[in-house]
Each structure stands twice: as structure tokens, then as C-alpha cells.
Amino acid sequence: MSRTRNVVDFVSERPRIGITLGDPAGIGSEILVKALTEVQKRCNPVLYGCEWSLRDGSSIAGVDLDLLKDSTLINVNIPKPKNFTYGQVSATCGEIAVRAVEAATEDVLAGKLDALMTCPLNKEAIHLAGNKEIGHQEIFARLSKANSTATMLMTPGLRVVHLSTHLSIVEAARFITSDTVLERLRLIRECFERWGLPHARIGVAALNPHGGEGGLLGREEIEQISPAVERANNEGIKASGPYPADSIFNRAIAGEFDVVLAMYHDQGHIAIKVHDLHQSISATLGLPFVRTSVDHGTAFDIAGRGIANHHSTIAAIDAAITLVTGTLGR
């Protein structure tokens, strides 16, 4: 892959945040350009994507590229398709997005970056481009050889780690074992210690209504989740629960827990997005580097119109800065 690197000062007190532009047919370049005008003084942004996509995004956002002089572009040298249309799935855009992620991952693993923040991909476009991995975490796992990863959603006042994400409800229930819950609790402790919040208070959500009602509404709490919490406590992990899912998130917002372990995708996602949709972001646990992301998709329905909300992008970049500098507990 042909790439051009502008001169960038890699010796700075400001963290070097690699940022991928995402699928060019989506809102990635638009929201990123808007966000960079606010955050580039807090970090050294290194952008990964096509120059034409960045220029188009700045035009849509109404932002002069000269205002981004503190940012550097690593150009993915793929020409703009002649039939390019915002909001349209294409193999070319999928290939551009994957190449940007691969280049950024290689650089962060080589120590040229301190952390990554990613803008949205389109899984269908990636598949059309002939790639087996259709998401960020699959690409990261392949390149970094990470064995176990997990998704954490963050919004002001609430953090949620998921035991499982892209599984059906039936499969998610089967995934809940004492070992999988304990492994996730260990991963939370390890990452939070690195990020500046040792001895994090972890609230563990129940799977079943009312926490299973002593086994009347399901036995996962009795047979799997509670034993995992006890094993975690024996290892010095400050976990408690399981608590009914209809109350645990409010308790976390009130300050009782530093993070909640949710049992499946929607249990955690709904809580976060109801609490604060526009500032919610995602972070990946278990990688050998910090990675955050906006907590939304490519938004093809509004791409190219200049109306995309960029607050999640700001929050994701700021979160990357917080995690890589180990200041989560401040």
C-alpha cells in the first residue's frame, strides 16, 4: 500500500492519537474534521485515510483544512471512484477503510502512536472488498494476536463492559459460565489498573428478570454468575452482584459502581444510549494498545449533508487521551 507521511513531531508531551477516517461514504470525515478543531491542541492527531475523503469532509463540514495544521495525514492512496456517492455501499470504500485500519494498527504496534480512535466502518462494504474480518476488533485481533478482547461503552457517569456482544440472545445465555464471567472480571481489573483506576468497583448485572428470583426465573445467577463473583473476590477483585438489570445502571450512575459488567449486547447498549446517546463512546479491552471509537455507525442516511453530530467523536478522542495517560480515576 502506498502511503505518504507528512512531517510529524513524535516527541511531544501530547499523546499521539492515530485516527482512522472510516468508510468514505459515511459521516466519518465530516465528524472528524469538526472534532479536530476542538481537540487537536490536546493531542497530536495522525489521520489515516484518503486525502480526497478528508478534503470532501472539510468542505461538507464547512471547516478550512488550514485549521487542521496540527494534524498529520497518512494517505491511503486509492483514487476517488468515478461513481462515488455518499450513503452507497461499495467495495472500494470498504477497501479504503480496511487499509486505513491496518496501517494505523501497524503504526501503534510499532510504537509510532500512543493510541487509536476509529471512525465507523460498513461491514457490508468490507465484505464486498473481499475481507474475511468485517469489524475493527477482528482486524485488531489478527494484527496484534490478542487472545481475549471485550467492548466497553462509556458516557459521562456510566461505564459498561459486555460479557458478550454480537451473539443471539440464546447464544449469549449459553456463553455465561463461571469461567467466562471470571475472565471478564479479571480483564476489567487489569485494564482499569493500567488506565489509572485501580481497585475499580465492578457491579455485575444479572441475566434474568429480578435476578432470577432465587432460581424461579432462571438459574444462571445461582450456578454461574454468583460463583464467578465469589472467585473474583478471592482474587482481590472488587466485584459484587449479580444485581437485577433494571436497577444496577441507576446505581452505577449514582456512584455506587465504577463500571457495570452487562451479560449481553442490548442490556448494556440500551442503558448507555438512554443515559447519553450523543456522548457515548466505545473502548476495547484486551488489546496491547488503547483503542476507542465513536458509538454509532456510518449513518449513510445523512452522509454528505453536513448535519452529523460530532460530539461522540470529541468524546472518543478525549477518552483515548484519558486512557493512554492513565488518568481515568481523576
Q: Read off φ and ψ for residue 141, nearest 5 degrees.
A: -65, -40
pLDDT band at 141; cut points 50, 70, 90 = confident
Q: What is the CATH number of the domain that holds 187?
A: 3.40.718.10
Same domain, 299 and 311: yes
| pLDDT tens by residue, 232-254 | 999 999 999 999 999 999 999 99
Range of the domain at 214: 149-286
Verify that 142 and 291 share a domain, yes or no.
yes
pLDDT digits (tens, 9 = 90+) for 193-215: 999 999 999 999 999 999 999 99
Q: For residue 7, is pLDDT > 70?
A: no
User: Does the pLDDT at position 9 exceed 50?
Assistant: no
Let me know whether 294 and 207 are in one domain: no
User: Which one, of 298, 318, 275, lies nearest residue 123 by Cα?
Assistant: 298
**Predicted confidence band at 95 (pLDDT cuts at 50, 70, 90)?**
very high
Task: Assign 12 a pLDDT band (cuts: 50, 70, 90).
Answer: low
Specify whether 140 is located in the same domain as 162.
no
My answer on whether 255 and 300 are in the same domain is: no
Is the domain of 141 the same as that of 5? yes
- Contacts (Cβ under 8 Å, ≥6 apart) of 248: 203, 205, 206, 241, 257, 260
Are 124 and 171 in a shared domain? no
Strand, helix or coil for residue 264: coil
Q: State whether 41 and 164 are in the same domain.
A: no
Domains identified in the chain, total number: 2
